[in-house]
């Protein structure tokens, strides 16, 4: 049960918040999706509040170092965490963490989602998810799928696909999205799952074939692509998402104030247009909604990791 009891303290606590700069920790290197979203949103909120929001990239430990720093920070709203769906993946594959994702944090808001897609090398004789599943069933373990590394989002998303389709695939891990994309283009691996915006230039050039997007709905950036669920694997859903957290114990009125301002920023046409350019869809909603979603995500990916025997320690 997530710690949301503090969300109902007297709103007077937040009257003077923020009265100094806010540190927004991104537990990964600059330049990635989390960093991009953090900086775009922080700029709008900072302008509205008249206080700097300093994005601080603290990578390492598969995002656990920066995340743990926020878990141990003063719960006053001046140290916040922006991270990706990796927040739900890490407890699925790490048996020992210095923090508890469900007890040491208060979910503030889901900031955005970003569409991934399932793509194959053009030489693969499959033009739909259904055909790919049939091909894999006819050739057990012969279809190789690449990932950005063991325990990464691309690995878990592909394992969810494999288990739901009841097929046998061979996993080939790489060190990041760039190398696995190169491997898929060369035919070293047959299929991969990655952010659609990063794969789209290769798809348009004919170097890869996109079969479907992985989310619950079709994506605005590629509306012609069906979802995995509607093109051969009903019930499949993987959304790359990003969210904002505060340390457990942060006054509820402060959490509400941050949530309200984030919702306002995410509704700005200028931000929505910028998001759309890179295939990002704005999030929003209440802390309670994000809390329920997070709990379901942790359970879901823990099941996938157990089934696939994925362990980082």
Q: Residues 150, 155, 160, 166: is their CA dihedral positive or negative?
A: negative
Tell me: do 265 and 130 sit in the same domain.
Answer: no
Closest-CA residue to 251 (of 78, 82, 103, 111): 78
Distance of CA 131 to the CA centre of its chain: 28
Tell me: do 218 and 246 sit in the same domain.
Answer: no
User: Residue 242 gets which letter from DSSP?
Assistant: E
Question: What is the tens place of the pLDDT at every residue in 286-313?
Answer: 999 999 999 999 999 999 999 999 987 5
Tell me: do 102 and 39 sit in the same domain.
Answer: yes
- Count the neighbouring beta carbons within 10 Å of the beta carbon of residue 313: 7
Give the domain extent around 156: 116-231
Question: What is the tens place of the pLDDT at every residue in 226-235?
Answer: 999 999 999 9
Distance CA 214, CA 229 (A): 8
Evaluate if residue 108 carries a pLDDT over 70: yes
Tell me: do 192 and 151 sit in the same domain.
Answer: yes
pLDDT value of residue 31: 87
Tell me: do 88 and 157 sit in the same domain.
Answer: no
The domain boundary residue, chosen from 171, 200, 231: 231
Residue 291's H or E segment, with its range, is: helix 287-308
CA dihedral 140, 205, 185, 228 (to 10 degrees): -40
Q: How would you classify the pairing of strands 116-120 and 191-195?
A: antiparallel
CATH number of the domain where residue 138 is located: 3.40.190.10
Question: What is the tens place of the pLDDT at every residue in 77-92?
Answer: 999 999 999 999 998 8
Question: What is the tens place of the pLDDT at every residue in 11-52?
Answer: 556 789 999 999 999 999 898 889 999 999 999 999 999 999
Unique residue bearing structure tokens 């889901």: 110
pTM score of the predicted model: 0.88
Unique residue bearing structure tokens 């479907």: 212
Question: Exposed/middle/buried for 10, CB within 10 Å: 0-12, 13-18, 19+?
Answer: exposed
Distance of CA 197 to the CA centre of its chain: 14
Residue 49 lies in a domain: yes
């Amino acid at each position: 049960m997530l710690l949301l009891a503090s969300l109902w303290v007297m709103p007077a606590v937040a009257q003077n918040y923020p009265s100094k700069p806010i540190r927004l920790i991104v537990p990964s290197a600059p330049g990635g999706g989390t960093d991009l979203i953090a900086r775009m949103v922080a700029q709008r909120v900072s302008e509205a509040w008249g206080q700097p929001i300093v994005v601080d990239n603290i990578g390492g430990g598969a995002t656990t170092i920066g995340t743990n720093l926020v878990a141990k920070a003063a719960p006053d709203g001046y140290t916040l965490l922006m991270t990706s769906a990796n927040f739900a993946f890490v407890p699925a594959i790490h048996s020992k963490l210095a923090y508890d994702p469900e007890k040491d944090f208060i979910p503030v808001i889901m900031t955005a989602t970003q569409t991934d897609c399932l793509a194959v090398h053009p030489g693969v004789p499959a033009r739909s998810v259904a055909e790919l599943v049939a091909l894999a069933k006819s050739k057990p373990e012969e279809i190789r799928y690449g990932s950005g590394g063991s325990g990464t989002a691309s690995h878990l998303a592909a394992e969810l696909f494999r288990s739901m389709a009841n097929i046998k695939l061979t996993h080939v891990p790489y060190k990041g999205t760039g190398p696995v994309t190169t491997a898929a283009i060369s035919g070293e691996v047959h299929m991969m799952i990655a952010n659609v915006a990063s794969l789209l230039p290769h798809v348009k050039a004919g170097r890869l074939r996109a079969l479907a997007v992985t989310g619950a709905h079709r994506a605005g950036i590629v509306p012609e692509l069906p979802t995995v669920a509607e093109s051969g694997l009903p019930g499949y859903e993987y959304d790359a998402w990003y969210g904002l957290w505060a340390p457990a114990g942060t006054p509820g009125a402060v959490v509400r104030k941050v949530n309200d301002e984030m919702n306002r920023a995410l509704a700005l046409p200028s931000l929505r247009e910028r998001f759309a350019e890179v295939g990002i869809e704005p999030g929003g909603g209440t802390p309670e909604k994000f809390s329920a979603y997070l709990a379901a995500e942790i359970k879901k990916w823990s099941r996938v990791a157990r089934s696939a025997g994925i362990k980082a320690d």
